Structures are given as C-alpha cells and as structure tokens.
Amino acid sequence: MRTLLFTLLFCFSIITAFAQNTDSSLVSTNRQFHFSFWDSLPAPKGWVNDYESLFTKEEVNQLDSIISDFKKQTTIEIAIVTFDTSATPKERFEELTFHIAHTWGIGEKDKDNGILIGISKGYRKMRIDNGLGISSFFSDEETKNIIDKNFIPSFKKGNYFEGTLNGLNAIIHKLKTH
C-alpha cells in the first residue's frame, strides 16, 4: 500500500512540475511578446490602426476619412487603435494606450491637441486619452459619458464599427461646439 501511495505521489509531483514548467514557459513567451510590442510599436498607418481586425478595410477608410477631414478643419488629431490581448496584459491596457499616444505623437506638439481612442474587444475595454490641450475643455466626465452613451451600446451588440463611428461623431460634435 505504501508503495502504491508513494508511486501516486511521485507521479503527481512529476505531472505538477511539468504543468508548472509548461505554464511558466507560456507566460514567459507571452511576456516577451508584450515587451516587444511595447518596445517596438509599429508605425501608424493612418489615423486608424486596427490590430485586432475589428473593422473591414472600407470601415477603416471611412473612419480615417472622417478624422482627416476633421483635422483639416480644426488641427485636432484623433487616432483609433485596436489591439488584442497579446499586446499587453489586461492590467496594463490603460498604460499601453497612453504609451501609444505619446510614442506616436498624436496631436500637434505645441498645442497637445491629440486624442487616442484605444479599443480591445478581447479585454472588453476601451479608453480615450485626451491631450492636455483637449482636457481643458473636454473633461474626463464628458469623455466617460460619450463612451457610455455612444460606444458601449453598439459594442455590447458586437458592432464595433457602429459604436466607434457613433463615438467618433459624438467627440467631433463636442469639439466643434466648445
């Protein structure tokens, strides 16, 4: 009986050790990808960079066109970036959007008038980072209201383009009327 118990405990410890090694190597690989995405962000390919493939090419072009027209009218730069869960751990989502906004230099430097809309379907999170030049007349509370009323209802239905278009239009309307 003791031999059987010893054998079972031995097998269990081997299986546990193997599972821990496998899990830690996956975590290590995942962390390496996170760090490589952080350390070498791809250059933006326009105002909309859809790394999570939430939009069709036509939808990206439509959003990009709206943002380009708005920039010509106001000099305010708006960028939209989507990324999946492989880009960052969930607890660093907000930090990554801030990092992207600063690394890409969204907004004119002397005006700090950029806005980054970050979306992750995989994490069911989104964030809007406003430059300091925007924050003076577009509060965090107003930004949260636009997220809650214009983005989220369509996102909950799985329609990320509609929600993003609605939210983008609400932001533009708010900025035009300030």
pLDDT tens digits, one per residue of 108-128: 988 999 999 999 999 999 999
In percent, the amount of the chain with pLDDT more than 90 equals 62
What are the extents of the domains in the chain?
Answer: 1-40, 43-176
**Which of 10-19, 51-60, 72-81, 169-178 comes out lowest in average pLDDT?**
10-19
> Tens of pLDDT along 61-92?
999 999 999 999 999 999 999 988 888 888 98
Amino acid at 28: S
Q: Choose the weakest-confidence range: 25-29, 90-94, 152-156.
A: 25-29
pTM over 0.85: no
Phi, psi dihedral angles at 100 (to 5 degrees): -65, -45
How far apart CA 2 and CA 146 sit, in angstroms, is 67
Q: Which residue has the higher pLDDT, 2 or 147?
A: 147
**What SS3 string covers the chain?**
CHHHHHHHHHHHHHHHHHHHHHHHHHHHHHHHHHHHHHHCCCCCCCCEEECCCCCCHHHHHHHHHHHHHHHHHHCCEEEEEECCCCCCCHHHHHHHHHHHHHHHCCCCCCCCCEEEEEEECCCCEEEEEECHHHHCCCCHHHHHHHHHHHHHHHHHCCCHHHHHHHHHHHHHHHHHCC
Q: Which CATH architecture does the domain made up of 43-176 adopt?
A: Roll (3.10)
Quote the CA–CA distance of 2 and 80 in Å, as a whole number.
64
